[in-house]
Amino acid sequence: MKFLKAVLFIVFVFAALAVHAQSSADLKRQRDELTRQLDQLNQEYDQTVNNKKATLKQLNLLKEKINLREEKINNINSEIRNLDNQIAESNSSVHNLQSQLSQLKKEYAAMVLFTYYNQSSYNKLMFIFAAKDFNQAYKRLKYLQQIGTYRERQAGYIQETQVELHVKINELDKNKKEKSTLLVDQLKEKESLGKEKETQVQVVADLSKHEGLLKQQQQDIQRKIAKTNKAINTAIRREIEEAKRKAEEEERARQREAAARAKAENKEAPVVKPRTAVKNLSNSEVLNATPEAARLSNDFLQNRGSLPWPVSTGSLKQGFGIYYDNEGIKNESYGWDIKTNQGASVRAVFNGEVTHISDVSGTYLVIIKHGEYFTAYSNLRSYNVKQGQKVTTKQVIGVVSTESSTGEAIVNFAIYKGLDPVNPKIWLVPN
């Protein structure tokens, strides 16, 4: 019974450690990815430092570096906490294994001593031959065999426990060394973070000398965002109105057919104004009026969470929802700002039809219709599709533009259900 409890305990400990090992592996992958992103930002930042005049791009890169550095430090803290838990569990496991080993050795030693002191009294042959009958002799023989087997099994338990104890001690040493390495890495990251924050203060001071120019640049960006949002809203409204117009024409055609049938049958046809019938339809019903549109809407919905990003390589710069700019002014983002490589291709995230292309403050906006859903791609340097063209998933529709004031290549991506913007996070595959 004691052995069974010991085995169950060891199985439980190993299961717990397996969970921690998986978590540790995930944290390490995250730390490696953060390190890779930091290295890439360092290269970009080094290029801007060559310019003696501080730029908005330099400040933005510093902010990204600081955010990533803080995220990496948090990641390291999580790894350290994870290791602390593993070390505590390993210490507990070592203590329990040592107690079990000590108990097993005591029991084994007592059994050996008992056998030694009583070996003349329990001579195997005499013990067997002293039996009353053959059946009892056979049972005594099996009893002696079981004693021998039990001794061998106990010796095996002792050896197995010693091996487990050795493994746990090595694992404990490994975790302690890994924790020591992480603490050193954490200290380096904190030092780098401190230096970057000092540099940020200096860059902000330099930029403040050109405050008027910077405010003008930021205002230009905000005006461009507002114009883009307005253009998207106008284009979608136009699509809805066009869908309603087609629905009205189809209703009139049905009424004419009904009137013709009624006349042929000498009956009075009911008169219903087409607009009265259509105006009660929701935007969703209007946009899904045709079987093709309804099927495309359903396909788009079925792929929620697995749509590809509009660029093959990119990182999220500004998410969906309310945010505050450098001046503390409240803003709202209706989509995602995705930072990518200069000259990167922008691609459709799903099958659909190009319904709108326009120039917004020197860059292009492309809107693709997917039934009642729309995807908008703005801040394009160029486009290679045309209005009314059918496109497929991951088909290249244009090239991202590079912001002259920041030197960054950012594509603005948004998803709408009718006139309502929705968060791309729940639609795009995790990057």
Q: What is the DSSP string of 5-27?
A: HHHHHHHHHHHHHHHHHHHHHHH
- Span 89-115, mean pLDDT? 70
Which residue range forms the structural domain that includes residue 271? 216-431
Q: Residue 39 and residue 37: Cα distance in Å, rounded?
A: 5
How far apart CA 177 and CA 169 sit, in angstroms, is 12
Of the ranges 184-193, 273-282, 386-395, the best mean pLDDT one: 386-395
Q: Do residues 242 and 170 share a domain?
A: no
Q: What is the mean pLDDT of residues 170-190?
A: 81
17 pLDDT band, cuts 50/70/90, is very low
CA 27 to CA 29: how far, in whole Å?
A: 5
Q: With 60 as the cut, is the pLDDT of residue 171 above it?
A: yes
Residues 431/314, Cβ–Cβ less than 8 Å: yes
Residues 111 and 41 in one domain: yes
**CATH code of 285's domain:** 2.70.70.10
Q: Is the Cα torsion angle 124, 125, 130, 131 positive or negative in sign? A: positive
Q: What is the mean pLDDT of residues 328-348?
A: 89
In this prediction, residues 185-205 reach a mean pLDDT of: 81
Helix H or strand E segment including 227? helix 211-264
Residue 170 C-alpha from the chain's centroid: 34
Average pLDDT, the chain: 78
Joined tokens for residue 313: 């390589």
Same domain, 119 and 32: yes
Residues 6+ apart with CB under 8 A from 140: 127, 128, 131
- How far is it, in rounded angstroms, from Cα 401 to Cα 341? 10
Distance CA 177, CA 175 (A): 5
What count of other Cβ atoms lies within 10 Å of the Cβ of residue 262? 13
Selection from 34, 57, 35 nearest residue 44 by Cα: 57
Above 50 in pLDDT, residue 1?
Answer: no
| Span 258-276, pLDDT tens digits | 777 766 767 665 555 554 4
Q: Which of 208, 234, 266 is the last residue of a domain?
A: 208
* Whether pLDDT at 114 is above 90: no
Q: Are residues 224 and 288 in the same domain?
A: yes
User: Domain check: are 62 and 120 in the same one?
Assistant: yes
Residues 194 and 240 in one domain: no
pLDDT digits (tens, 9 = 90+) for 374-404: 999 999 999 999 999 999 999 999 999 988 7
List the structure tokens of 90. Answer: 């390993």
Average pLDDT over residues 356-380: 95
Count of structural domains within the chain: 2
**207 pLDDT above the threshold of 60:** yes
Phi/psi of residue 422, nearest 5 degrees: -125, 155
Whose CA is closest to 70, among 184, 190, 182?
A: 190
For position 394, what pLDDT does the model report?
Answer: 95
Residues 162 and 300 in one domain: no
* Tokens describing residue 31: 């730390």
- Of 208, 225, 255, the residue that ends a domain is 208
How buried is residue 177: exposed, middle or buried, by Cβ count under 10 Å (0-12/13-18/19+)?
Answer: exposed
Partners of 227 in beta bridges: none
Residues 233, 185, single domain; the answer is no
Residue pair 387/265 in contact (Cβ under 8 Å)? The answer is no
As a whole number of angstroms, the distance between CA 55 and CA 65 comes to: 16
- Return d(Cα 207, Cα 230) in angstroms, integer: 31
Q: What is the mean pLDDT of residues 366-374?
A: 96
In angstroms, the CA 383 to CA 352 distance is 16
In this structure, the answer to whether residues 285 and 380 fall within a common structural domain is yes
**What confidence category does residue 78 fall into, taking pLDDT thresholds of 50, 70 and 90?**
confident
Highest mean pLDDT among 119-128, 157-166, 283-292, 411-420: 411-420
For the ranges 113-122, 180-189, 400-409, the lowest mean pLDDT is seen at 113-122
53-67, 130-144, 386-400: segment of lowest average pLDDT: 130-144
Domain shared by 385 and 344, yes or no: yes
Strand partners, 352: 391
Q: Are residues 286 and 157 in the same domain?
A: no
Q: How confident is the model at residue 147 (pLDDT cuts 50, 70, 90)?
A: low
Alpha-carbon distance 393 to 307, whole Å? 9
Which range (6-15, 39-48, 343-352) has the least confidence? 6-15
Domain boundary residue, one of 174, 192, 208: 208
The CA distance from 263 to 161, in Å, is: 98
Q: What confidence category does residue 9 fall into, taking pLDDT thresholds of 50, 70 and 90?
A: very low
* 289 and 317 together in one domain: yes
Residue 5 pLDDT level (bands cut at 50, 70, 90): very low
Query: Has residue 121 got a pLDDT over 50?
Result: no
Q: What is the mean pLDDT of residues 281-289?
A: 85
Q: How confident is the model at residue 300 (pLDDT cuts 50, 70, 90)?
A: very high
Question: Mean pLDDT over residues 29-58, rounded?
Answer: 68
215 touches 241 (CB < 8 A):
no
Q: How many Å apart are CA 243 and CA 288, to the nearest integer?
A: 9
Q: Lowest mean pLDDT: which of 240-249, 255-264, 287-296, 422-431?
A: 255-264
CA distances to 61, 174, 363 from 170, rounded to whole Å, are 43, 6, 61
